[in-house]
Amino acid sequence: MDQPSLFPPAVRPGDPGTSHRAAGHNRVTLRQRVEDVLRLHPGGVTDWEATQLLGLAERRKPSVAKRRQELGAVDTGRRRPSPDGLMCVVWAIENRPAGTERNEVRVLEPCHPPVAPAGHT
């Protein structure tokens, strides 16, 4: 009997072979790395911060966000600026031992200073 997968499929049956090979190689690895970042920063991180902390290119942020979503990270209610100055959700994994309301959290400072929109000084 086949056991259902805990995570949604990374590729569809009709996707090219390169997609199937890539999905098998780095999806679990990236998920583990994103989980490690979230656990090392219990106060939470934005997707931009997680991408930077992982040393990944900016174009990989959607992949980091997808892995964060799969891990069940929750919105902390806080926001921090992205590199372009837009406010981003700070995500965290809830680590609540039985019988406690909340764990101590450490707030991570923004990775990037806000950037003024073009034409503003």
Does pTM surpass 0.75? no
- Position 95 scores a pLDDT of 65
| HSE value, Cβ hemisphere, 13 Å, CA-based, for 14 | 0
Q: What is the pLDDT of residues 25-50, one digit of tens each?
A: 555 689 999 999 999 999 999 999 99
The Cβ of residue 65 has, within 10 Å, a number of other Cβ atoms equal to 19
* Least confident among 15-19, 61-65, 83-87: 15-19
Q: Which domains does the chain have, with CATH numbers?
A: 25-92 (1.10.10)
72 compared with 16, residue with greater pLDDT: 72
> Mean pLDDT over residues 89-104, rounded?
61
- Kindly tell me the sign of the dihedral angle through the C-alpha atoms of 29, 47, 113, 103: negative
